Amino acid sequence: MKGMTAWLTILILGVVPVAAVAQTAGGLPQPEHRSSLFQSTPPTYAIHLLDGRTAIVWWDSRSDPQQPRWVCEVPPLRDGTEASVTVLPVAHGDWRGALDTAKTTVLRGCVADGM
């Protein structure tokens, strides 16, 4: 009887958690599917402005797939002024440069974090 209890304890404490971890780990890695025309989730960054609005800096590869670019988009004010969209002259992978360019040129003096 003691031998059976010992084996059941080993089975429950040893094998069952391993099987549960193997099942929830996900299995074999799957290759990524990438569309050549559109990026499903383009990088997007929010910049809070002093007047309560939020400017968006994002990688636009949908408007013109042949020439993707960084864009800074500022929403309209409540007084009826139009939204502004500015193309940022920054390289593809340089998201820090895009944020810096947006803060120092397009949004100069308007950023809530002091820049």
Q: Give the start-to-end residue ranges of the domains of the chain.
A: 44-106
A 10 A CB-CB count for 73 gives 17
The alpha carbon of 30 is separated from its chain's Cα centroid by a whole number of angstroms, namely 20
Residue 36: is its pLDDT beyond 50? no
Give the confidence band of 48 by pLDDT, cuts at 50, 70, 90: very high
Cβ-contact 45, 95 below 8 angstroms: yes
Q: What's the pTM? A: 0.59
Q: What is the chain's mean pLDDT, rounded? A: 78
Q: What's at 88, amino acid-wise?
A: L
Rounded to an integer, what distance in angstroms lies between the CA atom of residue 16 and that of residue 50? 56
User: Token digits for 48?
Assistant: 């809070």
